[in-house]
Structure 1
Amino acid sequence: MIGYSDALEFGSETYKYIIANKDKFIAEEEIGQENYDDVIGATVNKYVSGIAKTGTIDELKSAIEEAKKDFTSPQQKMMEDNWYSTYYLAHKEYDTWFNKQISSAKETLKTDKRMGSSILINTTYRVAMDPAFEGAGIYGKAITAVEDYMKEDSEMLAGYYCLASLYKKSNNKEKALENINAFISKNAEKGGKNDQRVMALKEEIEKM
């Protein structure tokens, strides 16, 4: 079972057999609960992700509900968030994707500051770096999201680097330079060294 997990297709006869005999597979010493969950979870993820990339929003919702009849992950909410994220990006609904990502970050910040800030920075930095977002009109929203967060945590180094990248994309040389210089300065205060990537970004900004 485990050796052929990559080839397992959702809804296939083999898949149905495994689901129908779940308890037997889990009871097998060489399989167990963890391996069973890994195999079925990966199969479900492959299936639903495929629908997210090519189907409609209603088809995605139906696929999620269909899959939940067979398997619910301990990280179900995170998986569903990822599937919807995949859908919005694949269908170029960038504004909706961004709003949901930031809402998720804010909600997570209430209970887990590290994870919440990570979601926020990863989202906004992706906006800055992914060419898909050029012309999507959300650079300003990304800047606002980071600056609002940094009112509460002005020592988050990644925020300055992210803002420098976003302002560069927005063709605001003054603010981009202000933030990359702040990153370099605060990083040095913490004993960090500025690598080639940092200095290359500063040079690009200075040439604007």
Structure 2
Amino acid sequence: MKNTVVTIILLFIIQLSKGQGIKFENIDLKQALEQAKKNDKLVFLDCYTSWCAPCKLLDKNVFTQEKVGDLFNLHFINIKLNMEQEELRPLAQNYRISSYPTLLFLDANGKMLHKVAGNMKAEDLLNFAHIAISEPEKQLNTLNKRYNEGERGIVFILDYMETLKYASERTMMVQVSQSFLNETEKSAFLQAEVFDFLLLSKALTYKSDVYNYIVDNKDTLYATNGIGKDKFNHVICTCIKSHLQNQARNLDIDELKNVVEQSKTDFKLSNQLMFEAELFGNWYLQHQQYDNWINQIKTSANAMVAVNKEAAYLFLIQTTYHISKDPLFKTIDGAFDEGIILLLKAQEIAGDKISHYYGLANLYYLTGNKAKALESIKRYEHINQEHKGQIPEHFLKLKSKVVEM
């Protein structure tokens, strides 16, 4: 009878632990490695910080899932380390941690087998864990070794770059990208596999030999199976945007506008007007030329309306949201009034939408106009009732603040 009770209790404990997600041990890395050796397991190390929003999402939504816990608790000693601690700096340097969360899969000797960074779905985390457990050919450690031994085949390089991207190994990505560009014949970029490297690496430099070669062979690349217009345009657009954003840091506004015009001789971006509006607008904001900034916004919006009303509407909505949320605009006289004008312009373009009234209520609240804010809130509630929608929490909070004005 006594043995039966003990068995039942043990089975209950096992079942209880199965549904609890990842069980993180309250020990340091040295102790975790010792336990891993004793239990013939690997170590899973969650490197986080207190201010990291993706860390919190991973902790709340992924680590708590039963299927995740079942795999990790079986194969790993799991620990978490707050990387804000001064004594953990050497660890961050040793494992080349540059962003959070970074998830390390280590063997019992502390050797890094695999590494990934950022928030992710449970299925992706499980896939990375399986790589660490039983797929050494896909592990970052293995790929690092193959690269250091001189392997440079295009299939390998693409796999390696993808793995480096997941690991947030930005410095290594740049090194691999530049080396590959320098060592590869320009004509090779007419092949789909090699062109995909440019798509993945974003390493193409404006007006470089490879860039000029690709632009000169645009028609060929458009017609190439596996590349086509969309891939070509994406690679060139990314390159030009990066170049112009870098130039904006060092040029005055007239010089910047000249550089933008020059770039159009090679290729015109599909969203050229919106990109220019944001590029020039950001320049004016950074140089505290606020009157020029608002004039740029209005000029750009009018130009967009003539070409693409949907793009103009989206631009105005994004701009007014920026005005209402960025603390900078609290210091600029008349910024919220200008935001109201822009939002009313968006309303002219797209008609009566519920989202406009939330934005208007918020901006009127920020200007201290209680009557107009309440009018917008009333209109929001009326449209919401017509569509039988739920009132979101952020609207209720805004309404409460307006009523208390």
Aligned-pair Cα RMSD in Å: 3.0
CA distance in 2, matches of 1:187, 1:35: 41
Query: Hey, what does 1:186 align to over in structure 2?
Result: 383
Q: Displacement of 1:81 after TM fit? A: 3.0
- Tell me whether 1:161 sits opposite 2:355 in the alignment: no
1:26–1:36 CA contact under 8 A, matched in 2: yes
- Distance change (3 Å), C-alpha of 1:117 and 1:73: closer
Q: 1:69 aligns with which of 225, 250, 265?
A: 265
Q: Which moved more, 1:117-126 or 1:185-194?
A: 117-126
- TM-score, scaled relative to structure 2: 0.45
TM-superposed deviation, 1:151: 7.9
Matching residue of 1:37: 233
Query: C-alpha distance in 2, partners of 1:44/1:60?
Result: 13
User: What's 2:318 paired with?
Assistant: 122
**Counterpart in the other structure of 2:332:** 136
- The Cα offsets for residues 145-166 of structure 1, whole Å up to 9 and x where unpaired, read as 4457768988332222112111
| Residue pairs, 1:67-106, within 5 angstroms | 67-106=263-302
Alpha-carbon separation, structure 2, partners of 1:148 and 1:41: 29
CA distance in structure 2 between the partners assigned to 1:50 and 1:112 by the alignment: 27
Structure 1 residue 170 displacement after superposition: 1.5
- Does the 8 A contact of 1:125 with 1:165 survive in 2? no
Structure 2, unmatched stretches of 5+, are 1-194
Q: Secondary structure at the match of 2:390?
A: coil
Is 1:50 aligned to 2:253, yes or no? no
- Which whole-Å CA distance do the structure 2 matches of 1:67 and 1:175 have between them? 45
The range that moved more, 146-155 or 177-186, is: 146-155
- Distance change in 2, residues 1:100/1:62 (3 Å): closer
Greater RCO, 1 or 2 (C-alpha within 8 Å, sep 6+)? 1
Alignment partners' CA distance in 1, 2:269 and 2:341: 34
Give the partner amino acid of 2:224. Answer: E
Amino acid at match of 1:206: V
State the 1:86 CA deviation.
3.1
Per the normalisation by structure 1, the TM-score is 0.80
Q: Which residue of 2 aligns with 1:11?
A: 207
**Aligned residue-pair number:** 208
Who wins on radius of gyration, i.e. which is larger?
2
Q: Mind listing any 5+ residue stretches in structure 1 that lack a counterpart?
A: none
Letter in 2 for 1:141: E
- Alpha-carbon distance between aligned partners in 1 of 2:268 and 2:345, rounded to the nearest angstrom: 36
Kindly tell me: are residues 105 and 190 of structure 1, through their superposed partners in 2, closer, same or farther at Cα, counting changes over 3 Å?
farther
Secondary structure at 2:196's aligned position in 1?
coil
Query: Percent same amino acid among aligned pairs?
Result: 31
Are residue 2 (structure 1) and residue 171 (structure 2) matched?
no
1:36-73 Cα offsets, whole Å, 9 max, x none, are 22111110011112223442112212321332232223
**3-state SS of paired residue (1:97):** helix
How far is 1:183 from its partner? Answer: 1.4
Q: Which amino acid aligns with 2:337?
A: G
Distance 1:122 1:173 in 2: 24
Partner of 2:115: none
Label 1:3 to 1:10 Cα distance change in 2 as closer, same or farther (>3 A).
same
Cα offset, 1:199, TM superposition: 0.6
Partner of residue 176, structure 1: 373
- Is 1:28 equivalent to 2:224 in the alignment? yes
Contact 1:102–1:120, Cα closer than 8 Å, also in 2:
no
Q: Would you tell me which structure has more strand in proportion to its own residues?
A: 2
**Structure with higher helix content:** 1
Distance 1:72 1:102 in 2: 22
* Residue type of the alignment partner of 2:230: E
Cα distance in structure 1, aligned partners of 2:360 and 2:345: 12
SS at match of 1:29: coil
The 3 A distance-change label for structure 1 pair 59 and 28 is: same
